[in-house]
Amino acid sequence: MVQTADLKVERLFSVKEHVCVITGGGTGIGLMAAQALAANGARVYITGRREEAVEKAAQSHAPSDGGNIIPIGGIDVTKKADLERLVQTISKDEKHINLLICAAGIPGGKAEPDKESGEEMKKKLWENESPEVWADTYNTDVTSVYFTTVAFLGLLQAGSETHGHLSASVIVISSMSGLMRHAQGHFSYNAAKGGTVQLTKLMSAEFQKLKIRINGIAPGYFPSEMTAKESGHDQKSHLPDEKVKDKGHVPAQRAGSDDEMAQTVLFLTKNNYVNGQTVSVDGGVLNVVAN
């Protein structure tokens, strides 16, 4: 029987001694997740293509006590050779991992379908998009999630064997854009993020036999290089409330905060009874935009 004292927050959401890997961990939501996990005792490996970005992120946000953030740069998640190298590098120091977060992604192209005539609509979309950009977007935002997860299956299964049934998990960073009907001018990105939602369901069902849980987070507007177009010297981005209000479809009237993303990451990391779900953290957008 659980005692009242067993339900303290520090016990429910502690990730002390957890080993975590985050792709795209040098900026945006990936970095928010790294901070949340390290602050609560985890050893967190952050990866990305840009070595300088992950190194700056680790230096700027290392916790004063508890866990730590370890950068591994030069990793392109669209390349199987890089993923193999990443697994081998981590395997030198770790016999298992408890959590994989797939946060690497790109925005794709943009072309607003705002013309009234079919010929004008065709001209705008045809000239402003390309199959190559669509392929790059899908490859980075969907295909890489699959191959990154597959690459770590052995270490993840070992994590569950170490800590208990279905305790190791994967969190896929999708987007509210993958759940809505409004294209926002981002057909390739929204289609790809919809793909990650379905991929999360497929992997959760197929990989639970390995005692691995897989869930997703569908963020709304959070500060990142994708939404703010830049990051500062500490790899953090700023998204002004006014910019979010101007969109006209965000009931919260502001961007999401680091601590709100942290709460979601810790919940999905520690709740072993949640599997195959994509949690929207969007400030209410999907209540007013068709999905």
Name the residues annotated as catalytic.
174, 189, 193
Residue listed under structure tokens 């705002």: 114
Bridge partners, residue 69, by sequence: 44
Tokens standing for residue 216: 């997703």
Asked if 102 and 148 count as a contact pair (C-beta separation under 8 A), the reply is yes
Tokens standing for residue 267: 């919940």
Give the 3-state DSSP-derived string for the chain, with helices as H, strands as E and coil as C.
Answer: CCCHHHHCHHHHCCCCCCEEEEECCCCHHHHHHHHHHHHCCCEEEEECCCHHHHHHHHHHHCCCCCCEEEEECCCCCCCHHHHHHHHHHHHCCCCCCCEEEECCCCCCCCCCCCCCCHHHHHHHHHHHCCHHHHHHHHHHHHHHHHHHHHHCHHHHHHHHHHHCCCCEEEEEECCHHHCCCCCCCCHHHHHHHHHHHHHHHHHHHHHHHHCEEEEEEEECCCCCHHHHCCCCCCCCCCCCHHHHHCCCCCCCCCCCCHHHHHHHHHHHHHCCCCCCCEEEECCCHHHHCCC
CA atoms of 224 and 227, how far apart (whole Å):
5
- The type of residue at 272 is N
Bridge partners, residue 279, by sequence: 217
